[in-house]
Amino acid sequence: MEGQIVKILSNLYFVNSEGKIYECHSRGKFRNDKITPTVGDYVKFDGDNNYILEILPRKNTLERPLVSNIDQAVIVTSCKSPDFSANLLDKLLVVLEYHHMKPIICFTKKDLLSKVEKKELKQIKKYYEKIGYTVLWNTNISKIKRLFKNKTTVFTGQTGAGKSSLLNKLNKNLKLETGEISKALGRGKHTTRHVELIELFKGKVLDTPGFSSIDFSNMKDTDIRDGFIEFKKYACPFQDCMHLKEKECSVKEAVKKGNILMSRYQDYQNFVSRK
């Protein structure tokens, strides 16, 4: 039989095959092959003995959160509590670009911002839109609902950003667990503890546990550069310019003129030098 893994709880794999869920074990073989089944994997399985036999070829895999066969990702980005982090947003964008998964940015908790902060954030939102991204507020419910049809969409972003809350708002029947932000620590406690694939608005959506750090040490400097999509619009005198130490560089020029957001360029420098 064939099906798709929709949830993993320790060593139990929940496989959906034609609407029926089979609770399967995995054979030791996978561990030897250094291939771990992930949520989103299509598998061949023995439906009588509930064993996964084979993982079918993947379209792609994201390491963090660990999911496979993804078309697009909603980066759930909190404006406040936890505070907006351009650094984390840019990191996620670079990683998603690298994996050819379409990023969609969704800001949450605008209601917690002061008037001045709201104005600042709107400017930032505008910039990401200008460079080509779809950027929404979590209050744009009807727009968000239209994103899912015939696609597999992963919800990703910092813990406490409001991923599960947004999914609950989209479908009242989901009743996913959501958590309070610990005010004392100023950071969320991980409420969602496992990845779960849910069928929603004629598509598939994956709620995932949040995280606070992401590592892209397996990426080359040029991959990181290419993940800053707006840099590609500038023709630099040096072929394959890294926009770093080169004397003449159109990207650096654009940063100076304010056409490229300073925080984007600083994140780029930071990501490349950290490796």
Q: Which residues bind to Mg ion, rule: CB under 5 A? A: 163-164, 191-192
Could you say which of Zn ion, ligand GTP, Mg ion, none residue 62 binds, taking C-beta under 5 to 8 angstroms by partner kind?
Answer: none
- Closest C-alpha to 147, from 71, 237, 250, 66: 71
146: phi then psi, degrees, rounded to nearest 5: -80, -10
Alpha-carbon gap, residue 231 to 240, rounded angstroms? 11
223: phi then psi, degrees, rounded to nearest 5: -65, -40
Q: Report the residue number, 193 or 247, with the smaller CB distance to Zn ion.
A: 247
163: phi then psi, degrees, rounded to nearest 5: -65, -55
Alpha-carbon gap, residue 72 to 150, rounded angstroms? 11
Question: Tokens 């072929």 correspond to what residue?
Answer: 239
Instruction: Determine which residue in the list 93, 136, 241, 261 makes contact with Zn ion, applying CB under 5 A.
Output: 241
Residues 208-227 touching ligand GTP, rule: CB under 6 A, are: 209-210
Task: Tell me how far, at minimum, the Cβ of 230 lies from Zn ion, in Å.
Answer: 12
Instruction: Determine which residue in the list 85, 188, 227, 254 makes contact with ligand GTP, applying CB under 6 A.
Output: 188
Could you say which of Zn ion, ligand GTP, Mg ion, none residue 251 binds, taking C-beta under 5 to 8 angstroms by partner kind?
Answer: Zn ion
Structure token digits, residue 220: 């080359």
Task: Confirm or reject binding of residue 225 to Zn ion (CB under 5 A).
Answer: no
Task: Tell me how far, at minimum, the Cβ of 156 lies from ligand GTP, in Å.
Answer: 9
35: phi then psi, degrees, rounded to nearest 5: -120, 125
Task: Confirm or reject binding of residue 251 to Zn ion (CB under 5 A).
Answer: yes
Task: Confirm or reject binding of residue 254 to Zn ion (CB under 5 A).
Answer: no
Binding site for Zn ion (CB under 5 A): 236, 241, 243, 249, 251
